[in-house]
Structure formats: C-alpha cells, structure tokens
C-alpha cells in the first residue's frame, strides 16, 4: 500500500509541475489592469488531459490515504 502511495505521490507532483501557469496575470489584479485571470477559459487538448489526470491521481491519493488510515 505504501509503495502505491509513493508512486501516486511522485506522479502527482510531476503532473502538477507540467500544468500551465495561470499566475502571469496576478500582478494585474493589484494594479487594476484588464485581467482575464478569472474569466472562463476552456481547456483543450493536452491541457484538458493533464487536468483530468491530476484529478484522478488526486482522488486516488485521497482514497489510498483513507484506506491506509483504517487498516
């Protein structure tokens, strides 16, 4: 169980680092510039795949942690 948790943790870290950064518009919020940070952006292609893999790995990490707590 611990080996699966370790593998999922490493994969989750790698996938999160691969995601595109949305923080380049952050300073514009403070200065009052036109920001598209909170606008609805549709993810397409590889960005959508990476987001879904992140959700699956995060859910798997959560479930394995809960199961290992009760065993």
Please tell me the predicted confidence (pLDDT) of residue 30.
Answer: 63
Quick one: pLDDT at residue 1? 85
In angstroms, the Cα distances linking 55 to 3, 25, 32, 64 are 20, 24, 32, 14
Q: Which residue in 35, 33, 12 sits closest to 22, CA to CA? A: 35
| CA–CA gap between residue 46 and residue 32 (Å, rounded) | 31
Which pLDDT score, from 0 to 100, does residue 26 have?
56
Tens of pLDDT, residues 13-66: 999 998 876 655 556 556 655 555 555 667 788 888 999 999 999 999 999 999
Structure tokens at 9: 């943790």
- Residue 3 pLDDT greater than 80, yes or no: yes
Could you give the C-alpha distances from 2 to 14, 27, 42, 60, in angstroms and in order? 18, 41, 36, 13
Q: Residue ranges per domain, the chain?
A: 1-18+45-71
């Amino acid at each position: 169980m611990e080996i699966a948790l370790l593998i999922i943790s490493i994969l989750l870290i790698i996938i999160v680092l691969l995601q595109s950064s949305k923080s380049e518009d952050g300073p514009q919020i403070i200065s009052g510039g036109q920001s598209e940070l909170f606008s609805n952006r549709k993810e397409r292609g590889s960005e959508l795949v990476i987001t879904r893999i992140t959700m699956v790995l995060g859910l798997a990490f959560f479930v394995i942690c809960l199961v290992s707590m009760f065993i």
